[in-house]
Structure 1
Amino acid sequence: MFLKFFKSLILLVLMVNFSYSQELVPPIQNYAPSEYSAASQNWGIALDEKGIVYVANSQGLLVFDGISWELFPLESESIIRSVYPYKDRIYTGSYQEFGYWENSADGRMEYTSLTPLMQDLSMQSDEFWEIKAHEDAIYFRSFGAVYKYKKDKISRIGDVVASSIGVYQGRLILAPRNNGIAYVDGEGEMKPLEGDLKILDGENIVALEEVGSKLFIASRESLYVYENAKVERVENKPLNEVIERAEINHIISVSQNEIILGTIKEGIIQYDFRNQDIHMYGRSSGLQNNTILGMAYFDQKLWLSLDKGVDMIDLHSPIKFYTDNTGELGAVYDFHKYGNNHYLASNTGVYNFSNGKLQLVENAEDHTWNLEEIGGQLYANHNSGFYGINNSQFEPIDTRTGSFTVNKINDSGDELLIGNYTGLSLYNTKSGEVKELDSVNFPVKGFILENRNTIWAAHAYEGIYKITHREFETIEVRKIEPLGDKENFNPSIYKLNNQVTAFVGGKWYKYNPFEDKFQAFRELQTFNGSNLIFKGEDFYSFVDTDEGHLIITDLKGERISLSSEDLNYRLVKSNENFIRYNDSIFYVTLNDGFARVNLNKLREKQEGQWVSNPIIKEFTDETKRHSIATTPVIPFNDSGNILVKVGLPVSRAKKLIYSLEGEESLNGVVNSGTLNFRNLSHGDYHLVLTAVGNSANEVTSESFAFSIAPPWYLSPLMKFVYVLMFLSVVLLVYWLNQQKLRKHQLQLEAKFEKEHSDRLNRIEKERLINEIDLKRKELANTTMMAAKKNEVLMEIQGELNKDKSKFSNQFRIKHIMNKINSAVKNKDEWKVFETNFNEVHEDFFKDVLEKYPKLTSKDLKLCSYLKMNLSSKEIAPLMGISVRGVEVHRYRLRKKMDLDTDVNLTKFLIKNF
């Protein structure tokens, strides 16, 4: 009884010695059943060389591409107990069934059963729990037999019933039930492993793992190591005592001197057999379950298939976490090592952290903003005042109002300036006196001393102030004008390289004392959007205020990033803190604990990290899934909604971006694993996926080409039709143009002919007019000559009539008189006149006779003379009558024509005929 008690006491002491290590755990990623949408139990896990995770789940094969999970059940819906990727196949084992999965051309996982190849071999309720590859053969182990698959043939390895199989020094080894270890020789015969293995007699071996020259052998409650033909139980008492209660289920090697034991009851045990260190991670450390059913190690990350869920542990991460699962601690604002104690300032108080345990400092409850060691004394800026901490005692210094920050004024540290909720206070450490600065009546969250007489203060919420004083007697308090487009909300003030510097609205500014104003800080423009949270002698730390990741830099080129994912998205927003512990160890405050960062290891780890290649998993249009092995051509009617499922196998990649190039260009970040392209134009496209690591040169990419066929109205046939139509239109237009030109030419010709005819007519008309004018003149001349002649003849006749009696020869006189009468009334002359008159006045006589048919020839003769506008005096000789006779004739003619007396007969004839 005493021996049992002593044994338990020793175990308790040993557990306490490494309890701190248990509390600081590497990053753990949990994948709950609700996330991967399958059964809780996961019997095995493995990764292929690309980084794709395969899980043997109770509902089928579970695949994780780094972004999304997908379940592939067997037709029989059997539980898959084992999984093993080898080359391009994923081998699985289940009840009375084993086979392999392959990706089809369209990206689907398709299963091929190997049991039809067994021929005469039979199974008796076999479930296949383990699969191994050796020399291009695949071995399937059940509790009843071990089967070998090679070159499309299945054979059985002897009659052995093995509890585990493995590979050691190039040979396949088995653990026959309760009968040590055997190997399979080149002839396929079973032979005992060399050496004395009596220690294993009666042990039910559950796991075998080769590590260098060593072979680790595990039963449920014991761990052995085989080397140089000798097998010994591992001599590590704390480890063995843990194993006895934890029950080993699996072993996996993670380095040349380190193995992981997966247990049934206690999670995993990390065992460094070189220095005999052990670390345990279970439910209390962040695992979802303590029952480890399978393990896989890839890219320094340990993957666990659990009785409930899947977990990933970044075992060798330079970041370790402390998490307060009780909720007592709350959000941590500061961490400080003071003497042999570690103090945490949180929103619930100040805690002493020792040996992984938290102890609230007495009377230190409530929100604590800051811990500062000055002159060997630790101070706390608390919600209820300003305190000193001594031997875990919380000693009040000024409790009139809460405080934010404190800094020393001189090198000796005997005078401190405190930024508090109502302004600034001066604390003399020797006298204990606290004095408030006059005229500073706003909450001061941060401040710097530019010189002995100038203080720059940042308001807790808005505004930056310049405070001028003489021996802390305030002279002037001046609020600085807004540095950006808005008021100076949530400002921060610093002193960098002896320059007053401000971070406001996501931008950096520096004070120009010559112009008494702030200007853009060009040297820090690359850090716009990132506030300073640590300033050291050789490097600085910034936090991206939007993305929440940390940037560690020397401002000379080195740049180390810690993403919000690296810190499990647990930073305290707007109150991030990065605390130096020593040259390599730093602490980051979190909303439920803190993280310890080994900066040297982080720097080493981020140099040349492996980034996996993105993968195209599925390409689907509106109606069907296309092959991803070729370049798919999508009918235009099915291209309205194109889905591309992509993956980023697990690696150190930070993000996946895409770029679509072609008729349209698109780009962005892949978040859900599915890209959705809507209403793309027809044409050829090139999709490029790029995985990005911590640095710009850590990138890998994958490309995929596809085409969208043109719509029916742009198909080759229709294009041919369009060409014919175009040619037809061209020919039609050409013909119409020709017709138009011909018509125009005819019109021009007609116009020309018309113009020519008009010109000829005009010429002819002018000729006729000229001719008529000439004839009119000739007619007038001949008429006047005839009138003159007749006038002369009539004068002669009158003279002769006067002296008629004087002539002796009356006959002769009479003959002469007759001759004169004949000459005056010469009909031939009238005919000539009539002919000439008709040439000038065509149809005159005809028109007059048609209107006045009763007119006589003498009337017509008078009308013709009147038409020529001759006077009665001129007409009388032509008609051989007196002027009086002409007037009488005119009178009679007017009567015949029935004209009024007021109508001018001459004008009437000229106008109307």
Structure 2
Amino acid sequence: MLVALLLSLPSWAQREIRLQQFSIENGLSQNTINTIYQDSRGYMWFGTQNGLNKFDGRNFTVYKNTSGDTTSLSNNDVYAIFEDHEKQLWIGTRSGLSRYNRSRNTFSNYDYPEGRVYAMRPVWCIAPADDDHLWIGASGGLFKFDKGLRKFEHFKINDSIQNANSAKAICRDRAGVLWIGTQIGELMQFNPNTHQFSKVHFPQEGTVNYAIASIVEDSEGMIWIGRDDGSIYRYDITTRSFKEYTFLKKKYPIRTMIEDKEGNLWVGTDKGGAFLLDPNSGRVSSLGQRKENETDVVLSLFNDAKGDMWLGTYHGGVYLFDKMDTTFQQYAPQDKQENASQSNSVLSIFQDDESLWLGSDGGGLLQRRNGTVKRFLQNTTANSIAGNTILCLEAGFDSELYIGTYADGMSVLDRRTGKFKTYNQRNGLSDNSVWVIYNDVDHVWIGTNKGGVNVLDKRTGKIVHFTNVMQDERTISSNTIRAIFKDSRGKFWIGTVSGLNVFNETDSTFTAYYYRDSSNTISNNNVLCIFEDMKKNLWFGTHGGGVNRYDARSNTFTSFQEKDGLAGNIVYAMLEDAQGNLWMSTNKGLSRFDVVNQVFKNFDTRSGLSSAQFNIGAAFKGKEGQMFFGNINGVTSFFPHHIRQNAFIPPVVISDFKLFNKPVLLGDDSPLQETIDVAKEVTLEHSQSVFSLHFAALNFSHADKNSYAYMLEGFDQDWIAAGNNTTATYTNLDPGEYVFKVRGSNNDNVWNEQATTLKVIVKPPLWKTWWARTLFVLMVAAGLYMAYRFKINAIKKQQELLTLLVDQRTAEIEEKNKLILETEKRNAQLVHQKLNDELATKSKELTNYTLLIVQKNKLLDELKKKLKDVVRNPGSSNLRDFRNLVQMINYNFSPEKEWKEFNANFNRIHKGFTDTLKEKFPELTSNDLRLCALYRIDIPTKDIAEAMGISQTSVKMARYRLRKKLNLSPEEDIHDFLKRC
């Protein structure tokens, strides 16, 4: 149980419990939290002195009263929140009762209209009555609210004393009886059937009663009452007897109480913080250290669906307590730093049967035993530790403790006598900076910072040095040693800053392993730690290359780094738990490595660590399996089997919808007709081309570690792994129907595989609708028909003109023939012959035009027939016919074809105008030549634009470019110039 866990903290551990805080800096509207509630969808709600807050783990949505807006919250001071069986959320405020309309994101407000004395203001608490009613505890007494009729029924507790009617606390027990605590300290029972109050008397009730702040029914049916004097009573309904708990009496006033899922009673107090009471054993524990104006006044408590506890404070915001965060315990060697050379950094750790030994950075050696601390410091006496910065600790086989210091050599402590013996450069060490010590049967191996490896013979006291010799590959690869280890096969491994070495005992030489650009070599030459697991696998932690596993059979290495899930690529120390998992301290926290499945689980400050930056070699595993890791803020201790995975499967919600990165308001012309977390679909115009969906997995403990995956069905081919990103943005989708899906996990990567979905409909533009396309085809057909009629009329007019011309010429010829019949007979014959030839040519042209018109008339008839079929059957089955129809129109009524006929006729009339212009100005394009022809015959700009299928502005631009190509001065008129050509 949680109380037992808190009470069982080791004596050396600090009692501060890590809480996750949310305040105005995170978006909360105000730091005084009057009430807390979690709704059925999984959102957390916080009632403050300045608004109502909805929280999804990342973002707060704030609701406040807006003057003149009757659909806003009735008042910003919120005291109670309750959700009924219909999942309607009810809010008690200083101005009455409000109901939250989830789909419209508005509020409906209700108040009891009668008198000031018995006014329903404020509403202190809300409790269920039945499906159709609510019980309201308010300053004016008890009220029953009919949700269907929207009417109140008032029950006065006391007619003579005004404060006696102020129902500060209400509890409806499992029998349906109401328990009411008043401002003047009276505990009342209310029978909902008879509408009668009866007073319940406390034992040894005096003349002074204290206000009742909280009433709770526990899982066993007991009624708990918390009062303003700090006293807590448990009332047994069966025996009608009280039991009093006095551990807070006359110390801290009670402000709130709640039972958690383990049966513990949580108590929030004024100036005392939060306490936990085990009702069975009566044991009490304080929830960590109180902080003035932060966690010392707890006004509200709530146990969420996961089992975590929320604490609402006065001026401190809201705190989340995850009992999993209590698994890591911390200890700092220095309560106060006496000088700049001291720090809380723990560089080495050792535990024997009686004591925990810690090597500090500047603070000497610490021995913690039976709750007391003894510090060994360097001094001028002969029997003292060599130095105050302790880099390593290693136990001897008897009572010796070997101690390596940063700059003062190695000390050996006899733990029985408390006497020290020191080895340094004066008596055999090659270097006074001792980084690692390994105790063997007859020898002590000492790794130094600059003097290589020193081996101390325990029997003779002599020291042998192994150092690097340039150009001799048989010597150790570097004199800077960081790790020494003897494996189960009897091999000595030495980690240096420049390679990994194996000692060859037969000839006292070394074989070095170096990093090379190969996948089966060690990943980094700077080796910080060496470890052998229970399966005899060797592991090497490096400075920048992660951790390496050595395969003795193939003499190769396999590395695991950040890209594989390791917390950080600098691995300082390793330990193994009873399940065979490796625990590694890194520069970015702790990593637990499942060797079999090759999966990492990482822990950092958000998981309860005091620091994520650990120290080289600072690790120790106790006999009971407790692990210790030294970091820059002290030492972290834990039992691996106490660390549980968060098994809570979080609900996933779509929390916001934005167009062009702006929030979308509800409205008739809006894509949203109801709030996005209620809506099943969203319909967008084709112009609303950029939209974003925001989502949240409602796991609130370390929510920044929640992960997400989403896809837009119909657009995305597969799920998109989004990490902890909570937004998906899409742009320029084709018209159609899509389904947005999102899944989420909690902070321990436990996924909710049931996707939350939203249908997204993108409407096509007007010109892409089937009826618009049909209308377009009809307009094209009508245009072609008009063009056909225009050509027929033109031909008729040309025929009439030619007939008139022939008649006039014939009359002139006849008149001339009469005058000069004799003398001009031959000339007349020649003129007549020429005229007949011209008429034959024109007749041939007219015949050709007539045949062309007849052919196009047939095509138009065919188009009309097919258009009727498309209009009668507009479905997708006629799509091929529609395409064939469009191809036929494009082929037979090509604008390019018409331009060719225009050019041919124009050049015959204007004597090769186009060819002459092209020869003079070769850079002119075909469009330029068409434009010149139209300007020569003085066609208006508007008609030119229609003829060429471009805008009038484009015609003006083309005219400007044409003037430049024709080298015209600003004064020259283009029409006059072209007429001269």
Distance 1:330 1:538 in 2: 32
Which of 483, 496, 507 is 1:446 aligned to? 483
1:405-416 alignment runs, 5 A limit: 405-410=436-441, 414-416=442-444
Partner Cα separation in structure 1 for residue 417 and residue 297 of structure 2: 40
Residue identity in the other structure for 1:482: R
Q: Which residue of 1 aligns with 2:49?
A: 58
The question of whether the paired residues in 2 share the 8 Å contact of 1:620 and 1:643 is answered with yes
* Corresponding residue number in structure 2 for 1:94: 93
More displaced 10-residue stretch of structure 1: 141-150 or 691-700:
691-700
Shift of 1:49: 3.6
**1:705 aligned onto 2:719:** no
**1:586 corresponding residue in structure 2:** 627
2:138 aligned residue: 142
1:383 counterpart = 2:409: no
Aligned to 2:687, the other structure's residue is in SS state helix
Alignment map for 1:580-659 (pairs within 5 Å): 580-583=621-624, 585-603=626-644, 606=646, 609-622=647-660, 624-625=664-665, 626=672, 627=674, 628=676, 629-650=679-700, 654-659=705-710
Partner of 1:754: none
CA contact (8 A) 1:22 1:285 kept: no
The Cα of 1:145 is off from its aligned counterpart by 1.7
Q: Is the 8 A contact 1:612 1:651 kept in 2?
A: no
In structure 2, relative to structure 1, the CA distance for the partners of 1:248 and 1:728 (3 Å cut) is same
Cα offset, 1:697, TM superposition: 6.5
Q: Give the aligned partner of residue 81 of structure 1.
A: 79
Determine the C-alpha separation between the residues in 1 that align with 2:36 and 2:416.
50
Distance, in Å, in 2 between the alignment partners of 1:396 and 1:722 is 102
CA distance in 1, matches of 2:617, 2:252: 39
Distance across 1 between alignment mates of 2:538 and 2:598 = 23
From 412, 433, 440, give the equivalent of 1:402.
433
Distance 1:231 1:657, change over 3 A: same
Q: For the structure 1 residues 576 and 286, does the alpha-carbon distance in structure 2 shift closer, same or farther, using more than 3 Å as the test?
A: farther
In structure 2, the CA distance between the partners of 1:616 and 1:421, relative to structure 1 (3 Å rule), is same
Task: Name the structure 1 match of 2:294.
Answer: 288
Does the 8 Å contact 2:695/2:726 carry over to 1?
A: yes
Q: Kindly state the Cα deviation for residue 602 of structure 1 after the two structures are TM-superposed.
A: 3.0
Q: CA deviation at 1:664?
A: 4.0
Identify which of 311, 319, 322 aligns with 1:314: 322
- Per the alignment, do residues 18 and 723 of structure 1 end up closer, same or farther by CA in structure 2, a change over 3 Å counting? same
1:475 and 2:509 aligned? yes
- Residues 110-259 of structure 1: matches in 2 within 5 Å? 110-115=106-111, 118=113, 123-124=118-119, 126-136=121-131, 137-151=133-147, 152-160=150-158, 161=165, 162-170=167-175, 171-178=177-184, 180-192=186-198, 197=203, 199=205, 202-204=208-210, 205-211=212-218, 212-219=220-227, 220-227=229-236, 228-234=238-244, 240-255=246-261, 257-259=263-265
Deviations 1:828-847 (A, max 9, x none): xxxxxxxxxxxxxxxxxxxx
- 1:621 touches 1:643 (CA, 8 Å); kept in 2? no
- Deviation of 1:254 after TM superposition, in Å, equals 1.7
**1:732 equivalent in alignment to 2:889:** yes
| 2:127 maps to amino acid | K
Aligned 8 A contact 2:17 2:287 in 1: no
Where does residue 970 of structure 2 map in the other structure?
Answer: none
Q: Which residue of 2 aligns with 1:555?
A: 596
Conserved? CA contact 1:195–1:230, under 8 Å: no
Residue 465 of structure 2 corresponds to: 436
Counterpart CA distance in 2 for 1:281 and 1:706 is 48
Give the aligned residue type for 1:612.
P
> Could you give the per-residue CA deviations for residues 13-54 of structure 1, whole angstroms, max 9, x where no partner exists?
xx9999949833444111132122422212121222443211
Question: 2:501 corresponds to which letter in structure 1?
Answer: Y
Q: CA deviation at 1:118?
A: 4.7
Given that 2:355 and 2:368 are in contact with CA atoms closer than 8 Å, whether structure 1 keeps it comes out as yes
How far 1:657 sits from its partner (Å)? 0.7
Q: Secondary structure at the match of 1:246?
A: coil
Secondary structure of the 1:600 match is helix
Give the alignment's TM-score, normalised by structure 2: 0.64
Would you say the 8 A contact 2:615–2:632 is kept in 1? no
How far has the Cα of 1:291 moved from its partner?
0.6
Between 1:526-535 and 1:151-160, the stretch displaced more is 526-535
Cα drift, residue 556 of structure 1: 7.0
Choose between structure 1 and 2 for higher RCO, CA contacts under 8 A separated by at least 6 residues: 1
Q: Is the 8 A contact 1:196 1:229 kept in 2?
A: no
Q: Which amino acid aligns with 1:81?
A: Y
Q: Distance in 2 between matches of 1:293 and 1:334?
A: 43
Identify the residue that residue 67 of structure 1 maps to in structure 2: 58
Shift in CA distance, 186/508, structure 1 to aligned 2, threshold 3 Å: closer
2:89 is paired with a residue whose SS is strand
Per the normalisation by structure 1, the TM-score is 0.68
1:564–1:22 CA distance, 2 compared to 1 (3 A): closer
| 1:430-484 Cα shifts (integer Å, max 9, x gaps) | 5555443243452111133358885332223x422333344xx743464535264
Give the 3-state SS of the residue equivalent to 1:23 in structure 2: coil
Contact 1:616 1:647 in 2 (8 A): no
Aligned Cα root-mean-square deviation (Å): 4.3
User: Equivalents in 1 of 2:405, 2:771: separation in Å?
Assistant: 82
Task: Write the letter of the residue equivalent to 1:555.
Answer: V
Alpha-carbon spacing, 1:104–1:190, altered in 2? closer, same or farther (3 Å):
same
More deviation, 117-126/81-90:
117-126
2: distance between equivalents of 1:357 and 1:66? 42
Which moved further from structure 2: 387-396 or 271-280? 387-396
Deviations 1:316-344 (A, max 9, x none): 65614336595755344554433432233
Conserved 8 A contact 1:404-1:421: yes
Q: Which residue does 1:418 correspond to in 2?
A: 446
- The answer to which of 263-272 and 138-147 deviates more is 138-147
Name the structure 2 match of 1:793: none
1:374-417 C-alpha deviation (Å, 9 max, x unpaired): 4254444432343445379694633442223222323xxx4221
Highest Rg: 1 or 2?
A: 1
Tell whether the 8 Å contact from 1:318 to 1:602 is kept in structure 2 after alignment.
no
- 1:735-782 Cα shifts (integer Å, max 9, x gaps): 479x99xxxxxxxxxxxxxxxxxxxxxxxxxxxxxxxxxxxxxxxxxx
Counterpart CA distance in 2 for 1:125 and 1:190 is: 20
Residue 297 of structure 1: aligned partner: 303
Distance 1:24 1:536 in 2: 25
Q: Following TM superposition, by how much is the alpha carbon of 1:270 offset from its aligned partner in structure 2, in angstroms?
A: 1.2
Corresponding residue for 2:956? none
2:499 counterpart residue number: 463
Shift of 1:359: 6.0
Q: 1:556 to 1:575 in 2, by over 3 A?
A: same
> Which piece of structure 1 moves more, 80-89 or 34-43?
80-89
Shift of 1:268: 0.7
**Residue 314 of structure 1: how far off its partner (Å):** 1.8
Identity %: 14
Does the C-alpha gap of structure 1 residues 188 and 294 become closer, same or farther in structure 2, counting only changes over 3 Å?
Answer: farther
- Does the residue aligned with 1:565 lie in a helix, a strand or coil? helix
Looking at structure 1, the residues matched to 483 and 76 of structure 2 have their Cα atoms a distance apart, in angstroms, of 64
SS where residue 731 of structure 1 aligns?
A: helix
Residues 318 and 601 in structure 1, CA contact (< 8 A), matched pair in contact too: no
Structure 1: distance between partners of 2:686 and 2:299: 49
Q: Contact 1:427–1:434 at 8 Å: present in 2 too?
A: yes
Give the distance between the partners of 1:392 and 1:90, measured in 2 at CA: 70
Aligned residues: 708
Q: How far 1:61 moved relative to its partner? A: 0.3
User: Residues 199, 277 of structure 1: CA spacing in aligned structure 2 closer, same or farther, 3 A cutoff?
Assistant: same
Match of 1:206, SS state, is: strand
